[in-house]
Amino acid sequence: MQRLSTVHPRLFSLAAAFLTSDLPSPRSFLVSSASQERTRLTFSLSVPAAKSLWVCKKIWKSAVRGELDMGGEGKPTVVIMFPGLQYLIDHDAIESRFTILKLWEADDRMAFFKENADKIKGLVGNASIGASAEVIDALPNLEIVSMHSVGIDKVDLVKCGERGIVVTNTPDVLTDETADFALALVLATMRRVCAADRYVREGLWPLKGDYPLSHKVSGKRFGIVGLGRIGSAIAKRAEGFGCSISYYARSKKSEYAYHFYDSVLELAKNSDILVLSCALTKETTHIVNRDVLNALGPDGTLVNIARGPVVDEPELVKALVEGRLGAAGLDVFEHEPQVPKELLSMDNVVLQPHAASATWETRRVMADLVIRNLEAHFSGKPLLTPVT
């Protein structure tokens, strides 16, 4: 035993908080040792005139090592909404600093939220599932939504604003990866890389001879819908192929010399390749419609690494089936993970499972940013990448 005035200040604050509470004495803490064993340590607090507090040395050491658990009440509870991101779930910092709940382990999601409603203060979402109005209403103590994505279309920003819930995302860290992937889709689609690969694997080369000719990429008219971080990175890469760059955005970007069109339709009319890299909003939903697809034409290629609903998917399928559109490279779909069955057998279509940023390197950096935003919020520090 030793006097609290000589031990770690953090523990002094904890003990002082307990002293002024209405909890009975003796007090007790749960301490997790390095071997993951838990021991309940009990000590008594007396209140002499000088309010000296005594605690045992073992508790102090545990607090200094960051192992003081206090029955789980000392760490903010955060719900992760989606499975599959093991590098986030297994991150060294996340279990030690937060109490983690995993939504996908629940049989009944709304029952899960009801059971944990008072506990959950943080939520981690991604491009597939975030914080809808229904989820936000079910969590009265929610303080922060930390998105593991750039896009925030899965977050009800109006509801968050009404409740004072802060929202963060992961911009910049996936720009290069997504831009690289967009060019990979352009190349794979126009050069029929995936279909030619199947041709070889199925033993058709010796039987049927050379694979049919494909189309070159270099020197094409390259249109981009959305010239933000990712769109501009795509444009820079396309320049390396000798392509002429044009774009559509909400306004002309004076910092770029690329040709600006004030409508997607006009851009499509003047493009051989149309790459979508815009955010999903009410204004951009189905911005690529039948007219745009017809304007791109039977020699045109559409590549979507934005969001599925940016394209009118039924019209896209019809255009491909009827030959009114030449080819498509699709990383995103309107009703993920469902993909229109008509697309599955088309050699002029390359399909990907929303994987543009799906590399170990990028997802680790994204996970770090998610956790750092959570840490900043719960420690009262400025957020690193605030949306609201």
Please indicate, yes or no, whether residues 210 and 322 belong to a single structural domain of this protein.
Answer: yes
Q: What percent of the chain has pLDDT over 90?
A: 75
pLDDT value, residue 284 = 98
> Is the full-model pTM beyond 0.85?
no
Looking only at the bridges linking them, the beta strands covering 38-43 and 120-125 are unpaired
Q: Who has greater pLDDT, 340 or 13? A: 340
Give the pLDDT band (50/70/90) at residue 85.
low
Q: The tokens 């444009």 sit on which residue?
A: 235
Please indicate, yes or no, whether residues 252 and 347 belong to a single structural domain of this protein.
Answer: yes
Tell me: the pLDDT tens digits for 153-163?
A: 999 999 999 99
| Helical ranges in the chain per DSSP H | 9-19, 57-64, 86-89, 94-97, 109-116, 133-138, 157-163, 175-190, 193-201, 204-208, 229-239, 264-269, 290-296, 313-321, 360-378
Please indicate, yes or no, whether residues 180 and 257 belong to a single structural domain of this protein.
Answer: yes
Using CA atoms, how far apart are residues 174 and 387, in angstroms rounded to an integer? 16
**Does 336 qualify as catalytic in the annotation?**
yes
Is residue 357 in some structural domain? no
Using CA atoms, how far apart are residues 305 and 378, in angstroms rounded to an integer? 33
Please indicate, yes or no, whether residues 249 and 210 belong to a single structural domain of this protein.
Answer: yes
Q: Which of 97, 192, 307, 363 is catalytic?
A: 307
Q: Which of 266, 336, 342, 375 is catalytic?
A: 336
Is residue 162 in some structural domain? yes
Please indicate, yes or no, whether residues 92 and 104 belong to a single structural domain of this protein.
Answer: yes
Q: What percent of the chain has pLDDT over 70?
A: 80
Q: Which of 148, 192, 354, 377 is catalytic?
A: 354
Domain limit, last residue, from 19, 44, 72? 72
What's the Cα-to-Cα distance from 142 to each of 113, 226, 341, rounded to whole Å? 11, 32, 39
Least confident span in 15-19, 194-198, 234-238:
15-19
The total of structural domains in the chain comes to 3
Range of the domain at 374: 77-172+363-378
Domain limit, last residue, from 72, 92, 113? 72
pLDDT value, residue 52 = 36
pLDDT value, residue 6 = 37
Q: The tokens 């002499």 sit on which residue?
A: 48
Please indicate, yes or no, whether residues 31 and 100 belong to a single structural domain of this protein.
Answer: no
Please indicate, yes or no, whether residues 220 and 331 belong to a single structural domain of this protein.
Answer: yes
Is residue 114 in some structural domain? yes
pLDDT value, residue 10 = 43
Is 80 exceeded by the pLDDT of residue 72? Answer: no
Please indicate, yes or no, whether residues 369 and 343 belong to a single structural domain of this protein.
Answer: no
| pLDDT (mean) for 88-111 | 86
pLDDT value, residue 264 = 98
Q: How large is the C-alpha radius of gyration of the chain?
A: 27
Tell me: the pLDDT tens digits for 290-349?
A: 999 999 999 999 999 999 999 999 999 999 999 999 999 999 999 999 999 999 999 999
| pLDDT (mean) for 353-361 | 94
pLDDT value, residue 73 = 53
CATH number of the domain that 85 lies in? 3.40.50.720
Least confident span in 56-70, 91-105, 259-273:
56-70
Cα dihedral 366, 372, 378, 383, rounded to 10, equals -90
Q: Who has greater pLDDT, 33 or 131? A: 131
| pLDDT (mean) for 67-90 | 70
Using CA atoms, how far apart are residues 184 and 63, in angstroms rounded to an integer? 50
Is 60 exceeded by the pLDDT of residue 123? Answer: yes
pLDDT value, residue 86 = 66
Is residue 358 in some structural domain? no
pLDDT value, residue 90 = 72
Is 50 exceeded by the pLDDT of residue 51? Answer: no
| pLDDT (mean) for 280-290 | 97
* DSSP one-letter code for 279: P
pLDDT value, residue 63 = 40
Please indicate, yes or no, whether residues 168 and 179 belong to a single structural domain of this protein.
Answer: no
Q: Which residues contact 375 (CB under 8 A, 6 or more apart)?
A: 93, 97, 381
Is residue 356 in some structural domain? no
Please name which of 275, 249, 273, 268 lies closest in space to residue 181, comparing C-alpha atoms.
275
Please indicate, yes or no, whether residues 16 and 54 belong to a single structural domain of this protein.
Answer: yes
For the purposes of burial, counting CB atoms within 10 Å of the CB of 164, is it exposed (0-12), middle (13-18) or buried (19 or more)? exposed
| pLDDT (mean) for 223-232 | 98
Please indicate, yes or no, whether residues 91 and 231 belong to a single structural domain of this protein.
Answer: no
What's the Cα-to-Cα distance from 68 to each of 4, 39, 93, 214, 245, rounded to whole Å? 16, 11, 15, 63, 57
Domain limit, last residue, from 72, 107, 127? 72
Please indicate, yes or no, whether residues 330 and 190 belong to a single structural domain of this protein.
Answer: yes
Is residue 102 in some structural domain? yes
